[in-house]
């Protein structure tokens, strides 16, 4: 994989800007930023120790100074996985997590690392945009781009094939205000998210580790989580880790829709040498397929449709789309056919598709034991625990989700005992919560001058806690 000398441009001035605007999170300094503002922030940086302005002193505390710690680890449970960001952002704002370089320990049947091409990279620092626009499949990478995570450990079972097991060190940045990576895995290519390292701006290092928790030789947490990671990691669990369904398999099942879509949306895997070309070709293919399906949704017929460029969508593939339409029209009334939903379904097929493994009771017991054994060996408890039920979107079977949730919470309580909060926050039941109301201890790290500044922050309610709605 190509490398260059680009590094993160998040500096103390970037953090100052974030504190000044409660809707942002440590936005990197941009070359487009007005010179006067950059100069003002640089002046603030030079006054880190000597300034008598308490607001400046508050703003200049680095991401490793003045962290709060929960006395008991909170468990935050949502249904849609992207909703865990709300709690994570609050913990960043309240200083229970440092602004940068956290680790996400992610138990899931899906990586959730798709990068939306519809959301500009600059929006990664806008809380409201992130909470409003992100979805279950794409909530992690904007937080990596913003620097909140510099390491993601995806724990899966062997029936999940979206990414091969391994460790991947790569860069995440933006190209043309779209978040992109220089990692040539097939996972990042279908949506056009790969580019050459030299094309990335504001690039950061990111480590992704993919592990099978059901491997014959189970992964050892003490070898996975280094001492630095242990201080600032989130234990994140999707209940579909234990049993998952692919809801798209049932889309227009009588017409064998999903299987036909798998052939229509197929693309050849990339190699590192041709990743850029494959990415560009795949972007063009998806754009043309989207236009075809949008035409069918609007016109309900192929009439007046301009045939696509055969270099992008071959005649053979176009014929398969016509055959799919014939199959659907034979099995369903026209007003039952939603071509946009069908396009979305096809977009999930990629090279390996979504996993579908509805676990038996015996398998569930095995997965529970493997999960518990992993937690027991953790070198240090997490800062917080987030959990997604994934029932409303049908990724965790509805007839199993309640039992799985009950069992997983019980395992967490057995492993962490008095360290974990006795009552989970049920976001999907509209439980009220406020991170500033949890019992908290304060951990001061740094030189004496900065520690004194941090103590003032604690007594005054650190500026960044304005992000937490009271």
Domains of the chain: 73-246+356-429 (3.40.800), 248-348 (no CATH)
Angle, helix 361-376 to helix 398-416, in steps of 10 degrees: 30
CA distances from 323 to 257, 319, 379 (A): 10, 6, 56
H-helix or E-strand spanning residue 442:
strand 440-443
Burial 22-36 (b: 16+ CB within 10 A, else e): eebbbbbbeeeeeee
Please give the Cα distance from 424 to 108 (Å, whole number).
Answer: 19
pLDDT reported for residue 186 = 87
- Taking only Cα atoms into account, the Rg of the chain, rounded to an integer number of angstroms, comes to 24
CA-based nearest residue to 25, from 76, 103, 86, 104: 86
Q: Output the pLDDT for position 271.
A: 65
The pLDDT assigned to 323 comes to 97
- Residue bearing tokens 């899931």: 108
pLDDT of residue 357: 97
Coil, strand or helix at 78: strand
pLDDT at 284: 87
pLDDT, mean of each 10-residue run, the chain (470 residues): 36 33 41 36 34 34 67 96 96 94 97 93 92 95 97 97 96 96 89 90 97 96 82 95 95 95 83 71 88 96 92 94 97 96 87 89 98 96 97 96 98 97 93 78 43 33 33
CA dist., res. 462 & res. 235, Å (int): 25
Residue 309 in tokens: 């460029």
Tell me, what's the pLDDT at 273?
Answer: 65
Other residues' Cβ atoms within 10 Å of the Cβ of residue 208: 25
Distance of alpha carbon 316 from alpha carbon 312, whole angstroms: 11
């Amino acid at each position: 994989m190509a490398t260059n000398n680009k590094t993160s441009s998040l500096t103390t001035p970037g953090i100052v800007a974030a504190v000044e605007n409660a809707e942002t999170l440590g936005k990197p300094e941009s070359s487009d930023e007005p010179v006067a503002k950059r100069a003002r922030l640089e002046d603030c940086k030079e006054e880190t120790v000597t300034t008598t302005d308490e607001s400046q002193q508050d703003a200049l505390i680095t991401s490793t100074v003045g962290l709060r710690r929960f006395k008991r680890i909170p468990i935050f449970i949502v249904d849609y996985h992207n909703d865990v960001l709300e709690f994570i952002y609050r913990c960043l704002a309240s200083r229970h997590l440092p602004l940068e370089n956290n680790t996400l320990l992610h138990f899931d049947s899906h990586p959730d690392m798709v990068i939306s091409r519809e959301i500009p990279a600059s929006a990664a620092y806008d809380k409201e945009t992130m909470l409003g626009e992100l979805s279950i499949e794409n909530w992690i990478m904007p937080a990596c781009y913003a620097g909140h995570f510099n390491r993601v450990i995806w724990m899966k079972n062997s029936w999940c094939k979206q990414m091969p097991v391994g460790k991947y060190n790569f860069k995440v940045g933006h190209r043309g205000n779209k978040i992109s990576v220089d990692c040539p895995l097939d996972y990042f290519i279908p949506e056009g998210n790969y580019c050459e390292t030299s094309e990335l701006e504001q690039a950061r290092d990111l480590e992704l580790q993919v592990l099978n928790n059901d491997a014959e030789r189970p992964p050892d947490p003490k070898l996975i989580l280094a001492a630095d990671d242990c201080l600032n990691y989130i234990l994140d669990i999707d209940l579909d880790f234990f049993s998952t369904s692919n809801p798209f398999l049932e889309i227009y099942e009588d017409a064998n829709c999903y299987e036909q879509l798998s052939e229509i949306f197929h693309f050849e895997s990339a190699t590192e040498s041709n990743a850029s070309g494959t990415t560009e070709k795949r972007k063009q293919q998806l754009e043309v397929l989207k236009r075809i399906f949008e035409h069918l949704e609007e016109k309900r017929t192929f009439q007046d449709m301009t045939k696509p460029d055969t270099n992008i969508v071959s005649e053979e593939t176009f014929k398969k789309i016509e055959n799919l339409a014939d199959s659907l029209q034979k099995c369903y009334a026209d007003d039952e056919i939603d071509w946009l939903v069908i396009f979305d379904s096809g977009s999930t097929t990629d090279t390996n598709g979504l996993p579908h493994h509805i676990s038996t009771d015996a398998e569930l017991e095995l997965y529970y034991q493997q999960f518990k054994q992993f937690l027991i060996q953790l070198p240090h408890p997490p800062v917080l625990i987030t959990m997604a039920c994934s029932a409303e979107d049908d990724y965790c079977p509805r007839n199993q989700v309640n039992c799985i949730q009950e069992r997983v919470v019980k395992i967490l309580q057995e492993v962490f005992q008095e360290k974990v909060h006795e009552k989970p926050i049920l976001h999907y039941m509209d439980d009220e919560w406020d991170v500033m109301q949890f019992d908290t201890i304060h951990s001061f790290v740094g030189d004496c001058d900065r520690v004194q500044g941090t103590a003032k922050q604690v007594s005054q309610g650190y500026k960044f806690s304005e992000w937490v709605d009271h």
